Every structure is written in structure tokens, then in C-alpha cells.
Amino acid sequence: MSESEFDIIKTYFTHIGESPDWLDTGIGDDAAILHTHPQEQLLISIDTLNAGVHFADDTPPENIAYKALAVNISDIAAMGGQPTWFTLALSLPEVDHGWLKNFCSGLLEVATKYNLKLIGGDTTRGPLSITIQIAGVIPNGKALCRSGAKPGDDIYVTGTLGDAAAGLILQQQHLKKYNSQQQILIDSLRRPSPRVDVGRALRELATACIDVSDGLASDLGHILEASSTGENRLGAELNLTLIPLSESLQQSGLGLDMQNELALQGGDDYELCFTAPPSEQTAIETISQQADCRISKIGTTILEPGLFIIDKGQRKAIMKKGFDHFGAA
């Protein structure tokens, strides 16, 4: 290990993303220097992925990078923001140039796709760990918070749910080969597609928004909790048949009950879950068409605490099981 930290940063990280006009000094000094616009607020989020916890040790490095950046972008998308820059703290057990090259190609792919600039970083020796701090911008006062849902709002989700959780099950089976539907599920886990365009379009429409990282039940629960005020405890009633399942999940060989369980409780989908008054339904259908993104109305918020699901005419309370980083040990 003869490479210095300085060389690694220079070789691999200075070129990630186009140099934007707001970046006055990028990588190479004690801090990056940038300016902001007075009509915009900054959105700031940080997320870590650790080997063996958030991804399997044998995950290809380009997929690790892809996911590490994508999950951060998803946080900005959930606020209705435009992701703009990120910093990277990378701990590596050793300097492996093949690994770094592939890691950077994944990072570059996402940064280019979402027009993001890497403005600073730190590489250190340690167990494999990737921390990304992301920033986005949003016009003043337009951010979508978790706290704005009102009783009687419709509840929507983008895309389909449960795919990443099914991909995780498949990945843990260590099959030698995946068919095309299985590969789609695996890709959902490894290369999530944050919904930046939909999030931006929802700025004027949604009352609350979150990204589905820990599972629909858990994340919708955060909206209900944050939107409850005083004695007005907010709950939700979902219609099971309206929860969107992908063709890949339906053809996965998993039973229908398991498919529904994964869609309700599985994490890592990085779809958006949001609430909006019924009057916005047509506008939301237009957003769905313009962004070429399925958006499903799955239920409504109610003035009764708890999460209920309508299944074959029966109303059942469901528990929030969502992924807990510490509980999962």
C-alpha cells in the first residue's frame, strides 16, 4: 500500500460530475468553496452504507457506489429538491486500484445521470464503509416535509413496491444464474432509481412526502406521526389490491401473501410515498404521464391512529416491521 490519500483523491475523484458555476473551489484545499442563490434553500442529508450490513461483501463495487449515491439522492427527491453536490467519505481496508476504478465508474454513472458534482472527500483506512453527504436546492418555502398530511388526503406511491426486498431474498439464495425477471428484482435492490423528477413536480401538490427506504408501513408511519397534531392523531387505510406489484415480483415464484408482505414491509425500494388532497388527482395523473412513472393511489389518511389494510372486504390493523439497522442484528 504505497499510494497516499492525496494520490487516490486526485486519481479517482476530482472528475466526478461536471464543474458547475456555483462551485468556486472544488477538491484540493482544506474545504470546498461554493455560493448559493438567495431565492433557494439548501437541503442536507447524510447516509452510510457498511459492508456486511447494507450490502453483501461480494457486491460489485460499481453497484455499491451506485446505491450509496442513489439512496442519498432519494432523500433529496423526497423533499422535492434538485440534488446538486455531494461529499464522499470512503474507508477502505486497502488500496485496490481495480476496486477503486469500478467504484468510481458506478459513482460517475449516477453523478452524470442526476447532474451531481462531487466537491470534497476523505479516504481513510478502515473496514469498507461509504458515507455520502448530499445537498440539494429548492425554491424558498417549497420543500415537501413529512408533516403536512391532512385527514382525508389520498395516499400515493410511485413505481412498484417489494421488488428490492424480493431481490434481497434471491441474492441470499446465491443462485448461479438469474432469469430476466429475477435479474430485474436484484437490480431493484442494487441500483435503485430515485424519483427526482416526480418529487420536483409534487412541490405544489403534495401535502407530505417521504421515500420508502425502511418499508411502506414504517415510512408511511413517519408521515402519519409527523402530521399528527395534539389530539388529532392521523392514521391510514390502505386497499391491498391497490398496492402496486411489479410483473417481476408476481412472476418471482413467491406466494401472493409473501408478495404483499414484501410490498408493505420490505425496505430499500426508494419509491416516493406522498399524500395529496383528492382535488389534485388529475394533476397527479398528468405528472405520472409526463415523468413516465407509475403513480398509484393506494388509500387515504383518516382521523384514527394506526395503519389499516382493506383485504377482501376485511379491515385489518398492520404492524410496522420496517428495517431497523440495529434490530436486524
Query: Which of the residues 117 through 176 are near a second copy (CB under 8 A)?
Result: 119-127, 129, 131, 133-134, 136, 138, 140, 143, 145-147
97: contact with a second copy by CB under 8 A:
no
**Which residue's C-alpha cell is 395529496?**
276
Which of residues 140 and 179 has its CB atom nearest to a second copy in the complex? 140
Q: Mask of contacts with a second copy, 100-119, x by CB under 8 A?
A: -------------------x
Q: Judged by CB under 8 A, how many residues of this single chain contact a second copy?
A: 76
Under a CB-based contact definition with an 8 Å cutoff, are residues 163 and 43 in contact? no
Q: What are the grid coordinates assigned to 63, written together?
A: 453497484
Give the strand pairing for 272-276 and 154-158.
Answer: antiparallel
Which of residues 27 and 184 has its CB atom nearest to a second copy in the complex? 27
Under a CB-based contact definition with an 8 Å cutoff, are residues 153 and 205 in contact? no
**Number of other residues whose CB lies within 10 A of the CB of residue 209:** 28
Which of residues 87 and 160 has its CB atom nearest to a second copy in the complex? 87
Which residues are CB-contacts of 241 (< 8 A; sequence separation ≥ 6)?
Answer: none
Q: Mask of contacts with a second copy, 188-227, x by CB under 8 A?
A: ---------------------xxx--------------x-
Q: Provide the minimum distance between the beta carbon of 89 and a second copy in the complex, in angstroms, as a whole number.
A: 4
Which of residues 3 and 247 has its CB atom nearest to a second copy in the complex? 3
**Which residue's C-alpha cell is 458555476?**
21
Element housing 261 (H / E): helix 256-265
Q: Provide the minimum distance between the beta carbon of 254 and a second copy in the complex, in angstroms, as a whole number.
A: 27
3-class SS at 307?
Answer: strand
Which of residues 108 and 210 has its CB atom nearest to a second copy in the complex? 210
Q: Provide the minimum distance between the beta carbon of 197 and a second copy in the complex, in angstroms, as a whole number.
A: 17
Q: What are the grid coordinates assigned to 13, written together?
A: 475523484
**Number of other residues whose CB lies within 10 A of the CB of residue 290:** 11
Which of residues 163 and 214 has its CB atom nearest to a second copy in the complex? 214
Q: Mask of contacts with a second copy, 298-327, x by CB under 8 A?
A: --------------------------xxxx
Question: Can you tell me the distance from the alpha carbon of 278 to that of 314, in angstroms, rounded to the nearest whole number?
Answer: 24
Q: Mask of contacts with a second copy, 247-286, x by CB under 8 A?
A: ----------------------------------------
Show contacts with a second copy in window 29-88 (CB under 8 A): 29-38, 41-54, 75-76, 78-79, 81, 85, 87-88
Which of residues 255 and 327 has its CB atom nearest to a second copy in the complex? 327
State the DSSP code for 27: B
Residue 30 backbone phi and psi in degrees, to 5 = -65, -30
Residue 106 backbone phi and psi in degrees, to 5 = -65, -40
Which of residues 106 and 120 has its CB atom nearest to a second copy in the complex? 120
Residue 91 backbone phi and psi in degrees, to 5 = -100, 130
